[in-house]
Amino acid sequence: MTVKVMIPTPLRPYAGKRASAEFQAATVGEALGHLTKEFAELRKHLFTEEGKLRSFVNVYVNDEDIRYLAKENTPTKDGDTISIVPSIAGGVS
């Protein structure tokens, strides 16, 4: 099953400036594993040292938040799009 992983603009410098990548993957975790294997510098931005997805990184499969599905074990099917959306905080008080 080929899935497309969308890479957000702030992380593109760590992914060869690519906006997306495609992989054969049966789960979200497998797709993210392929992504961080191909672009090793991305790993520290997406995962903790313990291998857990960072709390400020939101991942969606076809616009559905994986936190409300099976998290990284969420199954994927051919043609799915996985979006990585880092949380943004800050502003003026």
As for how many domains the chain has, the answer is 1
Q: For residue 20, give its domain range.
A: 2-86
Closest CA to 10 of 57, 53, 71, 64: 57
pTM for this prediction: 0.91
Closest CA to 28 of 62, 13, 92: 62
92 belongs to a structural domain: no
What does pLDDT average to in each consecutive run of 10 residues of the chain (93 residues)? 95 97 98 97 95 94 97 97 86 63
Q: What is the CATH number of the domain that holds 50?
A: 3.10.20.30
pLDDT value of residue 87: 85
